Amino acid sequence: MNARSQPLETQAYKHIKAKRSQKVIRANVILITILLIGSLTMIVPFVWMLMTSFDWSARLNIPFPPRFWPEEFSLKPYEAAFTNVPLLKYMMNSVLVSAGVIFVSLLSATFSGYAISKLRFKGGTFVLVAALSTMMIPFEVTMIPQYLLFSNLNLLDNYLAFYLPALNFAFGTFLTKAFVDQLPGTLREAGVIDGAGEFRVFFSIFLPLCVPIISTMAILQFLAVWNDLLWPLLVLQTPDKYTVQLGMAMFTYNQGNSDLPSIIMAATTVSLLPVLVVYFLLQKYIVESIAQTGIKA
């Protein structure tokens, strides 16, 4: 290699490096643009709901161009929401339903996930596959048979209609099994050698280590149950037992074409607060547990 060819190779290398940098910059610009569009698509309705909840003069017809800032800023919609809608009662009902469903589903998922992962009994894989196969069936397909089942059991208008289906938390079983697979089996062997039974090994050794995945499942279940409307609409009949989403839906239905949508928006905003608080407090566990399990069985 002579001294004259070295500058040419250096220039060619710089040219290729510059082209690659331009491609990376263009790809990042496109990606950021797509993310911004997606974020705005999700954020704009929430911002509009929040601003409308403070606008006492808001109407259902959206003016053009759309106005996000309240024309008549007031807290009256929130006062009217708590006066016209038993929001606290509905929210307490939702808390009761969510707490029961979370307790039952987590108990079932952690037991089954641990058993399939560590006890390795005959047919464990078949049980896991059978449980996961239930996730392939849309709820709308099983909704009517499930309703008829609880009707025949005289469990309509009863919160047991929420708790009993939670026994089959297939996704939770899958997550727990994947998480426990990452824990060394020697922990169980050491516990058994020390004379501990399976329940003691599970509660004393494995359950404390499963806090991240348990927190993740609790958040997912809370979000699903709190925002659910269809199943409560089918099984709940007494207004005093309505969950917050069902109560809000019935209030909106009874109001019809209300001239004051700000009341509905204020009530909706209040109903979202527990979800936002729970999510922001516990969101780190979602990332942590997913990073540990790798979402693999």
Averages of pLDDT over runs of 10 residues in the chain (297 residues) are 58 77 87 91 85 77 68 82 85 93 93 87 82 83 90 91 91 88 85 84 87 86 90 91 89 69 84 84 69 53
> Among 192, 188, 186, 182, which Cα is nearest to 212's?
182
Domain 85-258 has CATH 1.10.287.890: no
pLDDT at 259: 58
Token look-up 């003691």 returns: 200
295: left (phi over 0), alpha (psi -120 to 50) or beta: left
> Among 210, 240, 259, which Cα is nearest to 90's?
240
pLDDT at 297: 43
Distance, CA of 212 to CA of 112 (rounded, Å): 17
3-state secondary structure of 83: helix
Distance, CA of 38 to CA of 16 (rounded, Å): 33
- Between the two ends of the chain, the Cα-to-Cα distance in Å is 55
Phi, psi of 73 (to 5 degrees): -65, 130
Please, are residues 297 and 174 in contact by the beta-carbon 8 Å criterion? yes
pLDDT at 60: 63
pLDDT at 294: 52
Distance, CA of 192 to CA of 189 (rounded, Å): 5
